[in-house]
Amino acid sequence: MDTVGELVPPARILLGPGPSCVHPRVLKALATPLVGHLDPEFVRLMEETKTLLRFVFQTNNTLTLPISGTGSAGMETCLVNLLEPGDEVVVGVNGVFGTRMVDIVERCGGQPVIIEAPWGNVFTPDQIQAALTRCRRPKVVALVHAETSTGAWQPLQDIAPVVHNAGAVLLVDAVTSLAGCPLEVDAWGIDVCYSGTQKCLSCPPGLAPITLNHAALDLIRKRKTKVHSWYLDLTMIEKYWGEERVYHHTAPISMNYALREALRLVQEEGLEARFRRHQRNHLALAAGLTALGIPLAAQEGHRLWMLNSVRIPEGVDDARVRRQLLEQYNIEIGAGLGPLRGKVWRIGLMGESSTRSNVLLLLSALEDILRMEGYRCTPGAGVAAAQAVYAGT
């Protein structure tokens, strides 16, 4: 067989839907020699990580830890532990990830009660209330906070009372939102929440932070059937990450080193400052794109700071533009998914990737490449509009 050569990947600027750029300190943590997963030093690290995760989730939940899989494993963990056959789950479907939740609910034997919104739009408490009245005995309401496939930002502050009045728990997908915009698990009454590491935490993909409160844990403890998944069974994972330290699987040591360092960086910056940074760079990018005649695609007033879904201009070749950005500028942006394929680009400004330099470089590079595509716009208009936003803030 042929010899596989040394690993020499290109130096990309990651402005897609994730992974985002990773801070050198996190890369250094990854390269740290390993201790065993039952080593007292690793046990200490597990405690520190749980504490830091509670901080970013803004929760006091005891059961707050990283699942040993990617964000989708976090989604599956939450659903597979909560659901038993026949359980009703109201799922908000307005993009890829709501659709995915329905799929998982069905695999768990649950009964999805689907509410739909156009891709790019969000749900109102009234819509959720209406869905709940259609249920006999709803167990879970599942919503996506930041729909990575559309750039839509679901408001969550007024949802929990509606859900709790119906006797259900609120489950939130915060894969893309965590550490990039406000998310207050306890204050907003979120019962179950999961995320991923490769978005606004700017850690490589591979872990899925989750948090569950007592109401959610009670549902798990009252199960009549075993959880379908052994690997994701929280009753065992809880003991592995808890004081008992009962062996379950072998935690991904290096990824946990990385997550701990990424969380330290979040703590050093401060949540509020980090949110403002994400907001400012989003506003600058949006102004720049608008000046180039490229409109944002998500519902006005509900546009994410960290994931900008933008309409591909008429007559412009989607794949060619993305390839040129990659080949000439080493910049990755994301393609549209599902019904938005070929219609939108997804520009991520997540975590370490959310910088003024990246915004200006992307606007400049995009203008250059669009012009090669025959697209007309005022030279320098994008960059000028973005700089005006920075000057004003």
Residues 188-227 that bind a second copy (CB under 8 A): 196, 198, 204-206, 226-227
Whole-number Å distance between alpha carbons of 311 and 329: 21
| CA atoms of 244 and 124, how far apart (whole Å) | 42
Task: Say how many residues touch a second copy, by CB under 8 A.
Answer: 81
Task: State the nearest-atom distance from the C-beta of 282 to a second copy, in Å.
Answer: 20
Q: How far is the CB of 108 from a second copy (least distance, A)?
A: 8
Among 167, 230, 328, 379, binds a second copy (CB under 8 A): 230
Distance in Å, CB of 337 to a second copy, minimum: 7
Within 335-364, the residues that bind a second copy by CB under 8 A are 337
**Site residues for a second copy, window 27-86 (CB under 8 A)?**
27-42, 45, 48, 51-52, 55, 68-73, 76, 80
- The residue among 329, 393, 26, 343 whose CA lies nearest residue 198 is 26
- Bin 330: left if φ > 0, else alpha if -120 < ψ < 50, else beta: left
Which runs of consecutive H residues, i.e. helices, occur in the chain?
Answer: 24-30, 40-57, 71-82, 96-107, 125-134, 160-165, 214-221, 234-241, 253-269, 271-291, 318-329, 356-372, 381-392
Q: Which of 214, 249, 276, 320 binds a second copy (CB under 8 A)?
A: 249
3-state secondary structure of 314: coil
CB closer to a second copy, 248 vs 302 = 248
Looking at the Cβ atoms of 76 and 191, the one nearer to a second copy is: 76
308 bridge partner residues: 347
Please, which of residues 251-290 interact with a second copy by CB under 8 A? Answer: 251-255, 257-258, 260-261, 263-264, 267
Distance between terminal CA atoms of the chain?
A: 58
Q: According to the binding rule CB under 8 A, does residue 241 interact with a second copy?
A: no
**Nearest distance in Å: CB 326, a second copy:** 7
Among 332, 336, 363, 383, binds a second copy (CB under 8 A): 332
Least Å distance, CB 275 to a second copy, is 18
Q: Which stretch binds a second copy (CB under 8 A): 16-24, 287-295, 299-307, 308-316?
A: 16-24
Integer Cα distance of 348 and 343 in angstroms? 16
Give how far Cα 157 sits from Cα of 118, 184, 185, 277, 279, Å: 21, 9, 10, 22, 19
Q: Kindly indicate which of the ranges 2-10, 138-146, 211-219, 297-305 contains the residues binding a second copy, using the contact rule CB under 8 A.
A: 2-10
Minimum CB separation of residue 232 from a second copy in Å reads 8
- Smaller CB distance to a second copy: residue 1 or 391? 1
Structure token pair of residue 97: 């990830």
Among 86, 182, 247, 317, binds a second copy (CB under 8 A): 247
CB 25 to a second copy: min, Å = 9
C-beta closer to a second copy: residue 24 or 315: 24
Q: Which of 62, 111, 127, 229 binds a second copy (CB under 8 A)?
A: 229
Question: Based on CB atoms, which residue is closest to a second copy, 133 or 357?
Answer: 357
Pairing verdict, β 146-147 and 138-144 = unpaired
Taking a C-beta distance cutoff of 8 angstroms, is the pair 120, 297 a contact? yes
Which residues, including other chains, have CB under 8 Å from residue 217's CB and lie 6 or more apart?
A: 63
* Residue from 306, 318, 317 nearest 282 by CA: 306
Q: Tell me whether the omega of the peptide bond preceding residue 161 falls within 30 degrees of 0, making it cis.
A: no
**How near is the Cβ of 162 to a second copy at its closest, in Å?**
27
The interface with a second copy within residues 95-124 (CB under 8 A) comprises: 100, 103-104, 106-108
- Residue of 18, 112, 209, 351 that binds a second copy (CB under 8 A): 18
**Candidate ranges 24-32, 57-65, 128-136, 187-195; the one touching a second copy (CB under 8 A):** 24-32
CB count within 10 Å of CB 89 equals 26
Give least dist CB 191 to a second copy, A.
Answer: 21
Q: Is 385 helix (H, G, I), strand (E, B) or coil?
A: helix
